[in-house]
Structure 1
Amino acid sequence: MKVVTSQQMREIDRKAIVKNNLSGLALMENAGLRIFQSLKNIYPDLRLKKIIIFSGSGNNGGDGFVVARHLYDYGVKAKVFLLAPFNKIKGEAGENLNIIDKIGVELIEVETVKLEEIQEAIQNSDLIIDAILGTGLQGRVTDLKAKIIDLINVAGKEVAAIDVPSGLNTDTGKIEGPCIKATHTITLALPKIGLLLFPGASYAGKVTVVNIGIPSYLLKNKKLKTNMVTKEIVKSLLPSRAAYTHKGSFGKVLILAGSVGMTGAAYLASEAAMRSGTGIVILGIPRSFNPIMEVKLTEVMTLPLAETEKQSLGEDAEETILKLLTKPPRYRVHRHSP
C-alpha cells in the first residue's frame, strides 16, 4: 500500500476531481459515510454513545459535518462544536454545515461559550470525533484550537480522529505543539507518512484506511515511492510450494554464532532462519554451548565446533566450516543423548 505526504494527497484529490469528474462534494460525502461506517464497526454500541464532534472550517471539518448527519440519521444526537463562526465556513464544508443545521443537529460555536462549558460537555461524552484540522496544518496549533485540544487530551475519553489527529505534522510525524491523542484514526484513501513515524504513530492510535471513491490507478501510481509493507504484500511475494517436497527442497542455511553472554543471538538468528522458510538450518556453535542450544532449538540442527579458552569459535573450526560450506555433510551434525 502506498503511503503519501500531504502534498501528494492533495494532488491525488485534484486529479480525481479534474480528470475523473468527481466533485469535491462527492468525495466529502464518501469520506463522511466511510468514517461513519468505520465507527459502527469499531463501536458496536455506537447508538448508545454520547458523541461530540469538534469541527474546523476546512474539508476536515466538512467530513465531520457529514459524519454528524449520518449519526443523526442513525439515531445518535451528536453535538457539533464549531471552531469557526458559522458564517465563515464556506465551500463544500459550508454546504454540509447548512444541511445538518436544517435537519436539526445541535451546533455550538466555541467562541460563544465558556471553556468550562466545553470541558463539561467533553466530560459528559462517551466519544469525541476530531475534525478540527486535516493534512494541511503548517506549524503548531495555537489559540483556541490549542486549548480545545488540551481539554480533549486531559479528559481521557475515546477519541476518533478524521484523517490525521489535529496538530500532527502529516509528513514527518513530529508533534510541534498541542496534538490530539487519538484512540483511533480513520484516514482517507491512503495512509499518511506522519501516522506511521514516531512520535506521530503514538498519537494516531489504531489506524483504519477507508476507500472514499478515488480511482485506484491514482492510488497505485508508481511515482508514489513510499510503500507500507502489509501482510497481503508479503504473502504475494512468497513462492508457492509444491506438495511433493521435503526439507532439502527449500535451501540450507549455516549460521556461525555464539560466545559467552551471546547465546541469545545464535538462538534468535536460527529461529529467524527457520521462520523465513529455510528447509535446513545448521547452527555452528562453540562446543561448550551445544547442550544449551540443543535444549533451546528443536528444528535447528546444531554443530559443535572447536572453541578458544574464552569459549568463542576457535581457529581449529575453520577446516570443518569450509568443508561444510562446500558440501554440507550430514555426519558432522551431532545430537547429544540425554
Structure 2
Amino acid sequence: MKLMTPSAMHALDEAAIKEYGIPGILLMEHAAYHLFKHLQGRDKAESVVIVCGPGNNGGDGLALARQLFSWGQSKVKVLLLAPREKLSEDGRTYFDVCQKLQVDMMEVDKQNRDTAFKSLEAAKVIVDALFGTGLTRPVEGLYAEMIDHMNQSTAYKLSVDIPSGLDGNTGKVQGIGVMADYTITFVLPKKGLYQYPAPLYTGVVEVVDIGMPKALVEAAQADTFSIEEEEMKVLLPRRAMRSNKGSFGKVLVIGGSQGMSGAPALTSMAAYKVGSGTVTAAVPYAILEIMEQKLTEVIHCGLPDEDGFFSKEAEKIIGAMLDRYDVIAIGPGLGRNRSVLPVLIDVLISDKPCVIDADALYFIPELTDLLRIRKAPTIITPHPGEMARLTGLTIAEILEQPLEIAKKVAQDLQVITVLKLERTVIADPNGDTYINRYGNSGLAKGGSGDVLTGIITGLLAQSLKAGLPAMAAAKLGCFLHAKAGDEAAKDLTEYSFLPSDTIHYLSQLLKALI
C-alpha cells in the first residue's frame, strides 16, 4: 500500500476539492463518520472528551462531536486548544454548528487548564484531534501539558489520522506524543505511521476511505509502501500440476564453520519449508556429521576446511559446483576467516542469483565493485551493524534514517537491500522502498536472520522459475518471516519462541495465501 507524505496527502485533498468539486466539508464529514462508527459500539453513558487543535484536525474532532451529540451521546465534551479563527474554514462551520447545538465546548487557556485536565481524568474515551500530519516543530507549552495529561489518563484513546506529536514523514516524536490505543487514518497511511518509534504510539492503525475519487488515489505518486497481508497472495509462486523438483528451484546454501552448524541448518530448512525443489548445504567437513544428524531432507556436501573454516581447496570445489544450482545463499555461520573470501568471490562473479547474509556481508565493503557489475538478481540482508560497516556510517546514523540509507545502498550497489529492523525496510534499486509492519521483539534472537535468508532464498528460486521479479521474493519473504513470528508469539510469547519455531508456522501462513 502506498505511504503518503503529509504534503502529498494535502495535494490529494486539494485535487479532490478543486478538480472534482467535492466539498472539503463532505470529506470532513466522512472522516468523522468513521470515527463515530468506531465509537458507536461503546456505552452512550460513557463520557467522551474530544481534544481539538487548529486546522482540519480540529475540524474533524468538531465534526465528530456533532455526530456523537446528534446520536445521543449526552456526555460529549470538546476541549478547544485553538480559537475559532485558527480552525480551517470547514472546521469553523462545525464549530458554529456545535455551538448552536449547545455541545459542551471549552476553550482551554492557562487560567482554566486545570479544569480541562480534570475533564480528561474523568473521561472514559479521549479523542485526539489536536495536531495532524503536518506537525514539524516540537510540541511545547499548553499543548505539551495537554498531551501529557491525555497519556496519564486511563481512558481509551482514539487518534485522528496520526497521534498528535508525531512527525508524519519520519514517525519521530516532536517532543511528546499521544499514546493512542487506536488510530484511524484517512485515504492512505502516512509515511511516518509505520516508522519507529511511531508504532509505540499508534496502537492499532486502521485505514479508511472518506470518499476520495479512486482515480486520484490510484494516480497518487509514492516511492514508499507498506507490506500488507492482502497484497501478498499475488507474490506467491504458483505450483503446476505437472512438475518435478527442478521446477521449484535448486538451492545451494554455503555457510557454516566450527561451532556454527545451526546457522546453515536453519537457512536450509527454511528454504525447504517455503517450497524449494532441492536444498543442498555446502559446509566444512568439521560440521558435516552434525549437519547430517540435524537435517534429513537436505542434501549435504562436505568440503575441505582449515581450523573449522572453508579452505582454499573448498573454493575450487564450490566454483565447479555453482552451475548445478539456480540460487545461492551465502553467509550463515560462514565465519570471518579470510580463507572464506575466495568462496564469496566465486559466487559474486557467477551468473547465479544470490542472497548474501551474515558473515558474507563482513567482506562486502571490499567487494562492492563486483556487486555493481552483477547481472543476476542479488539480495543483501544486513542488520544495522552490518549496514554500518557497509556504508561507513555509525549504527546511530543508520537508525536515524533507515529508509533513506537502505534506498541509497540499493541504488549504489544495484542490489535489493533488506535492512533488518523492528520494522524491516526493503529497498529496490529502482528507488522504491517498503516497510514491513509485521514482526515483534521475539525475532531479535540469534538464528532469526538465518531463517529469513532461507525463506527469501527458497522463494527466490521459485519466483524466478515462475517469471516473478526478485523483489517479490524479498517482500513475501520478509512478510512470512515476520508474520510467522507474530503467530509464534501468540502461542509461545515473544520471550519463548525460537527461530526454529517460526519455520514451523510457515505452513499455515502459506496455506492462507494459496
Q: 1:50 aligns with which of 47, 64, 87?
A: 47
How far apart, CA to CA, are the structure 2 residues paired with 1:46 and 1:133?
27
Partner of 1:129: 127
Deviation at residue 50 of structure 1 after TM alignment: 2.8
Which moved further from structure 2: 76-85 or 110-119?
110-119
| Partner residue in 2 for 1:10 | 10
CA contact (8 A) 2:304 2:314 kept: yes
Structure 1 residues 98, 243: CA separation in 2 closer, same or farther (over 3 Å shift)? farther
SS in structure 2 opposite 1:227?
Answer: strand
Contact 2:55 2:86 survives alignment (8 Å): no
Q: The residue matched to 1:220 in structure 2 has which SS?
A: helix
Which whole-Å deviations, capped at 9, do the CAs of 1:267-315 have from their partners, x for residues lacking one? Answer: 342244235542222212233434543455465x041413435222344
- The percentage of counterpart residues that share the same residue type is 38
Segments of 4+ moved more than 6 angstroms = none
Q: 1:210 to 1:298 in 2, by over 3 A?
A: farther
Tell whether the 8 Å contact from 1:130 to 1:166 is kept in structure 2 after alignment: yes
- Is the CA contact 2:56–2:88 (under 8 Å) kept in the aligned structure 1? no
Contact 1:194-1:201 at 8 Å conserved across structures: no
Which residue of structure 1 aligns with residue 305 of structure 2? 308
Following superposition, the deviation at residue 169 of structure 1 comes to 1.3
CA–CA separation in structure 2 for the residues paired with 1:87 and 1:317? 76
Whichever structure has more helix as a proportion of its residues is 2
Out of 68, 73, 87, the residue aligned to residue 71 of structure 1 is 68
Mapped partners of 2:86, 2:316: distance in 1: 81
Q: Which amino acid aligns with 1:124?
A: A
Corresponding residue of 2:32: 32
Q: More displaced, 123-132 or 267-276?
A: 267-276
Q: Is the 8 A contact 2:57 2:129 kept in 1?
A: yes
Shift of 1:175: 1.7
Q: Is the 8 A contact 1:168 1:200 kept in 2?
A: yes
> Shift of residue 121 of structure 1?
1.9
Measured in 1, the distance between the counterparts of 2:68 and 2:164 equals 21
Q: Summarize deviations over 1:200-237 as a string: whole Å, max 9, x none.
A: 33222221111111112222226322222222333223
CA contact (8 A) 1:2 1:219 kept: no
3-state DSSP of counterpart to 1:175: coil
Q: Which of the numbers 97, 101, 107 marks the counterpart of 1:103?
A: 101
Q: Select which of 78, 98, 108 maps to 1:80.
A: 78
- What secondary structure, in the 3-state scheme, does the structure 1 residue paired with 2:78 have? strand
Shift of 1:161: 0.9
Q: 1 CA distance for matches of 2:228 and 2:135?
A: 28
Q: What is the CA-CA distance between 1:78 and the residue it aligns to?
A: 2.0
Aligned-partner Cα distance in 1 for 2:220–2:173: 30
1:113-165 per-residue CA deviation (whole Å, 9 max, x = no partner) reads 63332232222222211001112223112221111011112334432110111
SS in structure 1 at match of 2:58: helix
Which residue number in structure 1 is paired with residue 232 of structure 2?
234
Question: What code does the residue aligned with 1:242 have?
Answer: A
Deviation of residue 18 (structure 1)? 0.6
Q: How far did residue 112 of structure 1 move?
A: 7.8
The corresponding residue for 1:94 is 92
Counterpart in the other structure of 2:144:
146
Pair 1:5–1:176, CA change in 2 (3 A): same
CA distance in 2, matches of 1:255, 1:239: 21
Task: Structure 2: state its 5+ residue gaps.
Answer: 326-514
CA distance 1:325–1:154, change in 2 (3 Å): same
TM-score in terms of structure 1 length:
0.85
The 1:187/1:271 distance shift into structure 2, 3 A limit, reads farther
The count of corresponding residues between Structure 1 and Structure 2 is 324
Contact map agreement 1:86 1:109 (CA 8 A) in 2 = no
Q: What amino acid maps onto 2:246 in structure 1?
A: G
For 1:308 and 1:295, locate their aligned partners in 2 and report how far apart those are by CA, in whole Å.
19
Q: Which amino acid aligns with 1:214?
A: M
Question: Contact 1:55–1:131 (CA<8 Å) still a contact in 2?
Answer: yes
Alignment correspondent of 2:191 = 193
Paired with 1:75 and 1:246, the residues of 2 have a C-alpha distance of: 65
Look at both structures and tell me which one has the larger radius of gyration over its CA atoms.
1
Moved more, 212-221 or 160-169: 212-221
- The AA in structure 2 aligned to 1:138 is T
Which residue of structure 2 aligns with residue 60 of structure 1? 57
**Highest relative contact order (Cα 8 Å, sep 6+), 1 or 2?**
1
